[in-house]
Structure 1
């Protein structure tokens, strides 16, 4: 193929090395190629000159979001688009993800405002990598014969991959913790909730945004931060497919009846934080027997805790990090 003049080819979102010759692109002095990728390793292996893209200034971020979403400056949606741009904090990936997702679905200011209200934006939430290890082990995401050390190595490799794609960032203030950008997290939830998996995530202080659903039936994973004395249990019979349950209680004592977890036969991972409760004296022997990972962190646990644990024959990981146990069989305070 003969060319006259100069040619610039642009390849967007490259995730693996590309053989330009196989695409009919003979790179030369007159033919230049620009590739965009979230993987520095891919660019480096291709011998490319890497130019990093940092967070955009406010005005440029707003322009990018409106351009991708197809919103003109004089549109009635212009003001709401500005709100979205501010939420994305200038991160190009977040801006494009949000704009593409809303381009075809939101045609009026009201629909954009509703979408804005439904996005989850927990400010600077820090994720302990060890929690990912516990979840991965409990959910049997890896070979069940692998040791805990093997699982930690596998998780470290996966987290490093996410870092290289700029999908997670290191927490500069806490070692072995990572942060997920709000919009990327919301997109991950939407992708993960397709098909057989359904995730429910909600945070305290967002009552207008995230009301508890009338039914938990389709959920396979639930993560809620609850404020006040919300009556939540029992709901196990409503979600027989539930595999992971994570609840963070902001305040108040929670009364757990003997049927609190009935119906959760498939539950393999449970994490309860800041829980102040006592377990029933007549704890059913068949309840929570499928648990592989149990984390009762920052809790005050009363009588019958030891009896409850005695029924969990498949339990592999148990954490009482910074909890106080008042059971006769536990006469010490675990500080972690």
Structure 2
């Protein structure tokens, strides 16, 4: 008892003196452990943020606490060193012993705090969580005009959606009247009423899986199921978890089986509301059983005039122009899409052109078809007639043929246009691509095309598309048909005789022989895996210049394909391909695309295509054989796409006879300006392969690359990614104007800028450097180029660079 109450209290303070050294050693060791745990957590945080995920609040709070505790521990250690230096000659003084006791006690306390934080990290079950980005149209104010005549309809639609006894509301009206725009505005107004708002674009031939995927993406749902029914069950289960959700299904053409998609009925989930848009009231009432439907009329005269005047830029100071403009606006019959397209077509034009336009708009419609009035038809035809060149007009009609879904590839437009010879004064593929971009921009400026999610694709309003197809059919004998909507009668011999272009979607039957002596363009897509092309199918279309087949089983190509001696563009995409020897007979071929196809070997006869300017083998994941000297024979090749495709490159010059292509073959392609390629083994790469002549490229060097690494989120036209376990050997300095650069490993390099390219990166926008123990600096200020090294850099991502000392030695 004496020891307990007298000795222990007296001895306790001396314990800090006796354990002084061990307390500080323990503190430093625990801090090192905590720093290691912090780095691990920080790496996970960086990876999560790069994937667009949100970090858990307790993780951010923990990292802040770790920073503070490490700073405090460093301060304790530093104070102790300073005190030790000051007291070195007063080792046994009372003040020295008192300070030593205080510092030891602080060290012991901080050690406990450090250990506690380290243990907390081990309790983290997850670092981050996925977020669902808000719809861009929900944030945008563009596209909607607050017309007085439509405010009451807007209010009534929202009231209907708030009614607990109503689960389905419809909006119907003629094409181009503004149904989609109104539905989106309802979505914006209803944000506070629903937990989630989802917009999904339908079509005349809806793809169930695509619709399921579109809804799931906006809910953050990932499917593991492959079948439609499995995905439907998963989607239904997810939708039921939302207390209140609004689904906007836009542009419905017929009956939609909601159960097949996975949308719960009102009996199963009263909080799930549907807003449908369509051209036909019959679709809403008889096919979808919509409970309350709203008809969208054309704009009244006042609203139509306000929209027209604002779009055309008409000033009140021009009374002569205003009088004819008022008549032109009236001729557009209050249809917003007609008003906008006509106003843009006449903007900046003289009075005589306005009078000419008015006369054309007052003529009776040469065509009429369900859902589009004569006024809309004539107004869009007027916009078409006012296009400046035949090249623009031909491009517009071609776009109408292409648009079977909402978004269309600029690359496809390029390949079709080149094959048909639409683009004048064009010598190279690079010039052609610039020309296509300019044409698309002009059509967008005329409101005949729409912007889409990125610059590589575009969209077209369904009314504009219908009018484009009607003009093409009437004036140019071009037909676009969907078999499950408008069955094609192959017996229409008179039409086929003069037909110049045919586009067939979801086709299920084919005749043995299609006699179209004037045909220049043929597109066919099917989802029927049993459909086969008859052997003599192409014998009656010998003038064909563009042929595009999608999702067909072509394990054996029809022999009549070899008779298409005028063919310039051939696309066999997403097809089952076997022997393609017959392609070697198409001597005039300039563009060949086998994108996404299931092909294992490129035929040796491909080397006979000496006029070929573009070869697309991207996404051909099973392609493992390209015979030697095939690529080197294609001496006029300007664009070669091999992303997510062939990587079995062999080395030229060895004693063993090659059975596959070598990288050195690409040196023979002196016209090559576009290249997408993966080189898994840098030892097979030789200098001179990559040259400054490359204007567009995506090049991945090294083994550790995956399919998603090809998909740049930045839309850059020059991308290089290096993942090397050996020295870089001058790859970077050979390339022109890199805009996106990713470096993994790359040993032997300490200074990213100077060691890799002493001239700097004047066009670099995105730099990613990771997983490297050698880098000590990104920019070395000792080099003269450093001040202008990265003048337009927008993003820099640095990760796992354990010896990085500085980003720049001086101001950057």
Tell me which interval the TM-score lies in, with the shorter structure as reference length: 0.5 to 0.7
Shift of 1:134: 0.4
Secondary structure at the aligned position of 1:231 is classed as coil
Shift of 1:150: 1.1
Q: 2:198 aligned with 1:198, yes or no?
A: no
Shift of 1:130: 0.6
Distance 2:550 2:145 in 1: 34
Shift of 1:328: 7.8
Q: 2:421 aligned with 1:140, yes or no?
A: yes
Q: Retained in 2: the 8 A contact 1:275–1:299?
A: yes
More displaced stretch, 128-137 vs 326-335: 326-335
Q: 1:302 aligns to what?
A: 578
Q: 2:336 aligned with 1:92, yes or no?
A: yes
Q: 1:246 aligns to what?
A: 523
Q: 1:147-296, aligned counterparts within 5 Å? A: 147-172=428-453, 174-195=454-475, 197-206=476-485, 209-215=486-492, 216-227=496-507, 229-235=508-514, 237=515, 239-279=516-556, 283-284=559-560, 287-296=563-572
Q: Structure 1: where are the runs of 5+ without partners?
A: 1-51, 64-81
Shift of 1:86: 7.5
**Number of equivalent positions:** 250
Distance 2:337 2:490 in 1: 31
Q: Retained in 2: the 8 A contact 1:255–1:278?
A: no
The CA deviation string for residues 190-248 of structure 1, in whole angstroms up to 9 with x for no partner, is: 333344x2111122541xx4544532222211111124x4224421x2x1111000111
Secondary structure at the aligned position of 1:261 is classed as coil
Shift of 1:83: 3.3
Distance 2:148 2:461 in 1: 17
Distance 2:418 2:146 in 1: 39
Q: Retained in 1: the 8 A contact 2:176–2:338?
A: no
**Bigger radius of gyration among the two:** 2
Distance 2:459 2:556 in 1: 34
Distance 2:178 2:497 in 1: 32
Shift of 1:257: 3.0
Aligned Cα root-mean-square deviation (Å): 4.1
Distance 2:575 2:411 in 1: 19
Distance 1:280 1:252 in 2: 15
Secondary structure at the aligned position of 1:201 is classed as strand
More displaced stretch, 122-131 vs 314-323: 122-131
TM-score by length of 2: 0.27
Shift of 1:96: 8.8
Secondary structure at the aligned position of 2:467 is classed as helix
Q: CA 1:286–1:296 in structure 2 vs 1: closer, same or farther (change >3 Å)?
A: closer
Distance 2:556 2:566 in 1: 18
Distance 1:166 1:146 in 2: 29
Distance 2:177 2:509 in 1: 29
Q: Retained in 2: the 8 A contact 1:298–1:321?
A: yes
Q: Retained in 1: the 8 A contact 2:551–2:574?
A: yes
TM-score by length of 1: 0.62
Distance 1:149 1:278 in 2: 33
Shift of 1:265: 1.3
Shift of 1:289: 1.4
Q: 2:370 aligns to what?
A: 115
Q: CA 1:117–1:234 in structure 2 vs 1: closer, same or farther (change >3 Å)?
A: farther
Q: Retained in 2: the 8 A contact 1:222–1:245?
A: yes
Secondary structure at the aligned position of 1:247 is classed as strand
Q: 2:623 aligns to what?
A: 332
Distance 2:175 2:534 in 1: 46
Q: Retained in 2: the 8 A contact 1:258–1:279?
A: no
Distance 2:594 2:371 in 1: 37
Q: Which has the higher contact order (CA 8 A, sep 6+)?
A: 1
Secondary structure at the aligned position of 1:115 is classed as coil
Distance 1:124 1:59 in 2: 32
Q: CA 1:147–1:198 in structure 2 vs 1: closer, same or farther (change >3 Å)?
A: same
Shift of 1:279: 2.9
Greater percentage in helix: 2
Shift of 1:136: 0.9
More displaced stretch, 262-271 vs 322-331: 322-331
Secondary structure at the aligned position of 1:302 is classed as strand
Shift of 1:275: 1.0
Which of 585, 593, 596 does residue 322 from structure 1 map onto? 596
Distance 2:409 2:602 in 1: 31
Distance 2:551 2:506 in 1: 10
Q: Retained in 1: the 8 A contact 2:413–2:436?
A: yes
The CA deviation string for residues 94-127 of structure 1, in whole angstroms up to 9 with x for no partner, is: 5899xx99x9579xxxx98x62399999785211
Secondary structure at the aligned position of 1:222 is classed as strand
